[in-house]
Amino acid sequence: MDFALSLDQKGLGKDIQEFSRRFLAPIAAECDEKQEFIPTEIWNQMACLGYCGLPIPLEYGGAGLGALDTLICLEAAGKGGAAAGHLLSWAVSTVLGSIPIIKFGTPEQKELYLPRIANGELICAFCLTEPDAGSDAGSIRTRAERSGDYYVLNGTKAFITNGPIADLCLIFAVTDPDRGSEGISAFLVESSFPGFSRGKQLDKMGIRCSPTGDLILRDCLVPAANRLGPEGQGFKTVAHHTLEWERANFSFFLGVMEYNLQTCIKYARERIQFKRPIARFQAIRHMLAEMRVELDAARLMFYRIGWMIDQGLVPAPVQASSAKYFLTRALKKNADYAVQIHGANGMMKEYPVERTLRDYKIAEIGGGTTQIQLDIIAGNIIKS
């Protein structure tokens, strides 16, 4: 077993952390305040550097990275101090936007979309949740009815990351209502297709740099060639075989935790109370130590998931859900301690740590809630 990072992983991590420090960290607070995504010129720069196509094969203009390398890149962006919201939107677009196409797309679909995701032209969304189907994602009701060379889609998708800005949406809809989750198919829907519209951008407590919104499909015409994967396999195959990636995507939070920890160490060494740095007090030291231990454990669980995907050892629902479950716990504590160590300053928007205490909640809700992760783990280990 080799725990050392490869030359590529070290180098890519260093570069992306530096990018994040230079370009994303300085805009984090203001974008959080105004609920704004990454400005276009910075997004385009990310595309030029290869960041919008991390896992996309080289022949389609991507960087051709594996899962472990990709998640180390996401982590590095967090370390540089970028807002978690920016990273969530980026990860959803770049990873969840491309992986289903890479795995299940026809050569034409790959040719049509992957190069434009990699060059930053297309921002993507992954659209499962509906107003009445959240944790019970198999109960979605958006309909897709075949009509000649088209499918006609009707329904509403709710709480969609990048909903307000996405150009390409992977939409899950029911093609055969009698077959339950085996009657669900996946569609690549461009925002320019007739019948596609968006709800307004939602006002959120956290992860505000990631635009979230509803999508409304009213007789939306989708070419049959844009169905991704076989009919009826949208949920069972496309969504399920993206699960590990969906969990691994949260790895940017590892970097956010590292950033918080380093910020706290620096602060604790500098802040003097009772005539000594607060870093001398055992209560503070133990908080920092706990932050470090749990970050390390979460990181190892995430690296294992990346490694398992690269080795083809998937599906790995227990390991993937465990990693996300544990990350969420560690993150919640990290965010809480970070504010605590900073005292009153910790609550102030001038300091970067309060944001995580609002942002962490997405990890407990998005991509399957904490309760659902535990359910998946329990279901798999108890097998009844």
Which residues contact another protein (rule: CB under 8 A)? 7-8, 11-12, 15, 18-19, 22, 48-51, 54, 63, 65, 73
Nearest approach in angstroms of CB 121 to another protein is: 17
- Which residue's CB is nearer to ligand FAD, number 64 or number 134? 134
**Which residues bind to ligand FAD, rule: CB under 6 A?**
92, 125-129, 134-135, 159-161, 207, 212, 362, 365-366, 368-369, 371-372, 375
- Which residue's CB is nearer to another protein, number 7 or number 344? 7
Select from another protein, ligand FAD, none the partner in contact with residue 12, using the beta carbon and a kind-dependent cut-off of 5 to 8 Å. another protein
Nearest approach in angstroms of CB 63 to ligand FAD is: 23
Nearest approach in angstroms of CB 331 to another protein is: 26
- Which residue's CB is nearer to another protein, number 99 or number 170? 99
- Which listed residue (75, 130, 246, 364) is catalytic? 246
The beta strands (E) that lie in 142-223 are given as 143-147, 150-161, 168-174, 184-190, 196-201, 212-223
- Which residue's CB is nearer to ligand FAD, number 129 or number 319? 129
Select from ligand FAD, another protein, none the partner in contact with residue 98, using the beta carbon and a kind-dependent cut-off of 5 to 8 Å. none
Nearest approach in angstroms of CB 162 to ligand FAD is: 7
Select from another protein, ligand FAD, none the partner in contact with residue 291, using the beta carbon and a kind-dependent cut-off of 5 to 8 Å. none
Nearest approach in angstroms of CB 212 to ligand FAD is: 5
Residues pairing with 156 in the sheet: 216
Distance of CA 71 to the CA centre of its chain: 10
130 is catalytic: no
- Which residue's CB is nearer to ligand FAD, number 52 or number 158? 158
Select from ligand FAD, another protein, none the partner in contact with residue 142, using the beta carbon and a kind-dependent cut-off of 5 to 8 Å. none
Residue with tokens 């991390």: 54
Nearest approach in angstroms of CB 210 to another protein is: 23
Comparing C-alpha atoms, which of 167, 172, 163, 168 is closest to residue 143? 172
Q: Which two tokens stand for residue 108?
A: 């034409």
Comparing C-alpha atoms, which of 184, 337, 170 is closest to residue 242? 170
Nearest approach in angstroms of CB 9 to another protein is: 10
Helix (H) or strand (E) holding 286: helix 282-311
Beta-strand pair 196-201/272-273? unpaired
Contact 122, 168 (CB under 8 A): yes
Angle of helix 7-19 relative to helix 67-79, nearest 10 degrees, comes to 40
Numbers of helices and strands, H then E, in the chain: 15, 10
Residue type, 294: E
Provide Rg for the chain, Cα atoms. 21
- Which residue's CB is nearer to another protein, number 63 or number 316? 63
How many other CB atoms sit within 10 Å of the CB of residue 34? 9
Cα angle 62, 310, 228 (rounded to 5 degrees) comes to 60
Residue with tokens 């560690």: 330
Select from ligand FAD, another protein, none the partner in contact with residue 212, using the beta carbon and a kind-dependent cut-off of 5 to 8 Å. ligand FAD
Beta-strand pair 212-223/276-277? unpaired
Select from another protein, ligand FAD, none the partner in contact with residue 365, using the beta carbon and a kind-dependent cut-off of 5 to 8 Å. ligand FAD
How many other CB atoms sit within 10 Å of the CB of residue 196? 19
Q: Which two tokens stand for residue 92?
A: 């959803």
Write the burial class of residue 169 (CB in 10 Å: 0-12 exposed, 13-18 middle, 19+ buried).
Answer: buried
- Which residue's CB is nearer to another protein, number 15 or number 190? 15
Select from another protein, ligand FAD, none the partner in contact with residue 161, using the beta carbon and a kind-dependent cut-off of 5 to 8 Å. ligand FAD
> Which residues are the active-site residues?
246
